[in-house]
């Protein structure tokens, strides 16, 4: 276990660090209440805040959420935006309620999603944007000048938790969808397919005009393997075999003799 930069900085500055495994414990709630906080700020936090925790701060709890609410409420908004082909996403400063990311929004900021940007790169840009937006708006939220606006429930969409099964490439789908999957699941959990007994991960891919029976490796070029999909084909440039480092597609293709093979 390695301490995060936030924890390291807090220790250096003699700021208390609490790391409860649950926020439903009465002793933990008492510890939080003892600080008499004006506001509690939540960012990518893995625990559910019960109503007893939400009620502690004078100004409530503020969630720095990585989407333009009400679009993509839930656990994986960054991946969901890429999978859906959204051209933009952003950060929302939301007043937390008992519902799933359904509270009113104080402020938001928008950024474009790069045509070849993966979830890891987008996450880092959104993290920086979230910090900037929070610093800009925090005083106005604390003194009540900035009022939160209710979300439009009719426009709400949800981004559920991601499993490894979600990241399996289904060659019966269009190539552009699979290319977005490769980007959305990079770096976690990694898009993948099966060949014989190996689960092979895909880290970079683009769409080409090739065609053939879905799942068939129709071509191996100097920098990619080309796999036919329902429409068009997926040109994969970077792959990773189990227990191996990421390698160029042609290296993996030669190791596994993928030319002409049917992938699953």
Q: Which residues contact 25 (CB under 8 A, 6 or more apart)?
A: none
pLDDT tens-digit series, residues 25-75: 999 999 999 999 999 999 998 888 999 999 999 999 999 999 999 999 999
Q: Provide mean pLDDT across the span 1-11.
A: 94
Give 5-159's CATH code, choosing from 3.30.1330.30, 3.90.79.10, 3.40.50.170, 3.40.720.10: 3.40.50.170
Q: Which residue has the tokens 């937390």?
A: 96
The CATH code belonging to domain 164-256 is: 3.10.25.10
In sequence order, what are the beta bridge partners of 201?
192, 240
pLDDT tens-digit series, residues 227-240: 999 999 999 999 99
Task: List the chain domain ranges.
Answer: 5-159, 164-256
Reported confidence tier of residue 99, pLDDT bands at 50, 70, 90: confident
Question: Considering only CA atoms, which of 149, 152, 257 is closest in space to residue 198?
Answer: 257
Cα(43)–Cα(62) distance, rounded to whole angstroms? 9
Reported confidence tier of residue 254, pLDDT bands at 50, 70, 90: confident
In sequence order, what are the beta bridge partners of 40?
61
How would you classify the pairing of strands 198-208 and 233-240?
antiparallel
pTM for this predicted structure: 0.94
Question: Considering only CA atoms, which of 121, 71, 138 is closest in space to residue 101?
Answer: 71
Same fold, 5-159 and 164-256: no
pLDDT tens-digit series, residues 148-193: 999 999 999 999 999 999 999 999 999 999 999 999 999 999 999 9
Share of the chain above pLDDT 90, in %: 90
Share of the chain above pLDDT 70, in %: 100
Q: Provide mean pLDDT across the span 191-209.
A: 95
């Amino acid at each position: 276990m390695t301490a995060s930069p936030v924890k390291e900085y807090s220790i250096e500055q003699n700021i208390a660090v609490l790391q409860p495994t649950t926020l439903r414990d009465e002793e933990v709630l008492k510890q939080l209440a003892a600080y008499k906080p004006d506001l509690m700020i939540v960012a990518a936090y893995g625990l559910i805040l019960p109503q007893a925790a939400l009620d502690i701060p004078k100004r409530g709890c503020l969630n720095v959420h990585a989407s333009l609410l009400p679009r993509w409420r839930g656990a994986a908004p960054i991946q969901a935006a890429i999978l859906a082909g959204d051209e933009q996403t952003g950060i929302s400063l939301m007043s937390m309620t008992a519902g799933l990311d359904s509270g009113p929004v104080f402020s938001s900021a928008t950024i474009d999603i790069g045509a070849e940007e993966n979830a890891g790169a987008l996450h880092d840009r959104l993290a920086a944007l979230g910090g900037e937006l929070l610093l800009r708006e925090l005083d106005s939220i604390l003194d009540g000048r900035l009022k939160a606006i209710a979300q439009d429930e009719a426009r709400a969409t949800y981004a559920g938790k991601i499993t490894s099964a979600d990241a399996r490439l289904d060659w019966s789908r269009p190539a552009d969808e699979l290319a977005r999957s490769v980007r959305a699941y990079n770096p976690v959990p990694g898009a993948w397919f099966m060949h014989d007994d190996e689960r092979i991960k895909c880290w970079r891919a683009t769409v080409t005009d090739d065609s053939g029976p879905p799942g068939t490796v129709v071509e191996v070029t100097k920098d990619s393997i080309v796999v036919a999909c329902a429409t068009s084909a997926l040109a994969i440039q970077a792959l990773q075999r189990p227990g191996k480092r990421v390698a160029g597609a042609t290296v993996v293709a030669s190791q596994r003799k993928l030319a002409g093979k049917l992938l699953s």
